[in-house]
Amino acid sequence: MSKIDMDTVPVKTGSIYPEPFASEMAGRSSLRLGDAGGLTQFGANMVILAPGAKSSLRHWHAREDEFVMVTQGICTLIDDDGETQIHPGECAAFPAGRENAHHFVNQTDSEARFLVVGSRMNPEHATYPDSDMKVTLQDGVATFTRHDGSAL
């Protein structure tokens, strides 16, 4: 059957970020819906943000497109253009290679959720301008460095 049973999809918590950045992801979890459905060409995740939580560090992708649709609550998109509230049914898109660092923050007192769909490029590079960090993702392995390429 093609229908994904949401009750059986494991909840992923934590982060692939090294410390001290991993601790900043408290209150964020996700359901790896694309993985649960056996998808290999793109990822689809339901991200769950507790009040005060953020989706990620502000970042932009070199090769991956990202599409986001808020499904519950209100998420505040913070990008290079400032802050924008995104309500259920509203969407945002982040084309690959566009140097517009972004993330979502739940600034409300209620849980918020959004669906994020992204291409799965291998290798992929993402830049975190506020954190002096870059990541290279290749064959399922994440390698974090500073912007100049030196080790964290």
Digit-coded pLDDT (tens) for 93-127: 999 999 999 999 999 999 999 999 999 999 999 99
End-to-end CA distance of the chain: 45
Q: What is the pLDDT of residue 1?
A: 63
CATH no. of 6-122:
2.60.120.10
Q: pTM of the full predicted structure?
A: 0.95
Q: What is the pLDDT of residue 152?
A: 87
What are the boundaries of each domain within the chain?
A: 6-122
Q: What is the pLDDT of residue 32?
A: 97
| Low-confidence stretches of the chain (pLDDT beneath 50) | none
